[in-house]
Amino acid sequence: KEIETEKDIEVIKLIIEKAVDEDRLEELQIYLETEAKKDKIPPSILFSLSLVYGRKGLVKEEYKAIEALEEKVKQRPGIAFNLSLVYGRKETLKSQIDKAEAEALTLMQGFISVTSTPSGAEIFVDGILHGTTPVTIESLDEGSYSVEIQMDDYSIVNQTVSVKAGQTTEIIEELVLMPG
């Protein structure tokens, strides 16, 4: 059946809730995935599948189902369907996916935090200026880095530090005034 009104959407949501109550959500998912592989499928199947994925917390799968639904609706412009619902949900999911991927990337990278006395020293990591102290250099891959601390009238400090994913390597330096 086509989705023509908000009532149709509510019926689909009720069916999914009934499947949850009867502990048959997995069975419904398998059925919908099988139907979604067929050539001529109504948008209601893809919409239902996206809701099942959403109920199970499968954000990426839900997003893919909504993308497929969007393509299906574009191919059949004559059908009545609440596209704002599709687009709104798609954008919400995209932001959730982007946030989750950014958080995962952050967990895979490390940081170097540099503090000096006096503050205001320039910090170079592998020869690239990253600001002045106090500073935290973010999004570094795991590995060893050459850190140079420079300030006029003070001795240059060179260190090699290891960065581990999800951790901050701290450097605290008391700079030595050069004689003369």
Summarize pLDDT for 96-148 with one digit per residue, the tens: 666 766 666 666 788 999 999 999 999 999 999 999 999 999 878 889 999 99
For residue 85, is pLDDT > 80? no
Q: What is the mean pLDDT of residues 10-27?
A: 91
For residue 31, is pLDDT > 60? yes
Backbone angles phi, psi at 60, to 5 degrees: -65, -40
Average pLDDT, the chain: 84
Rounded distance between C-alpha atoms, residue 175 and residue 157, angstroms: 8
> What's the pLDDT at 80?
46
Q: What is the mean pLDDT of residues 71-99?
A: 63
User: pTM of this prediction?
Assistant: 0.48
> What's the pLDDT at 102?
65
Share above pLDDT 90 across residues of the chain, in percent, rounded to a whole number? 42
Sign of the alpha-carbon dihedral angle for 55, 82, 1, 90: negative
For 66-70, 74-78, 147-151, which range has the lowest pLDDT when averaged over its residues?
A: 74-78
Backbone angles phi, psi at 179, to 5 degrees: -65, 150
| Structure token pair of residue 81 | 């369907």
Short-list 139, 92, 131, CA closest to 112: 139
Give the other-Cβ count within 10 Å of 170's Cβ.
12
For residue 23, is pLDDT > 70? yes
Between residues 175 and 139, the one the model is more confident about: 175
> What's the pLDDT at 149?
97
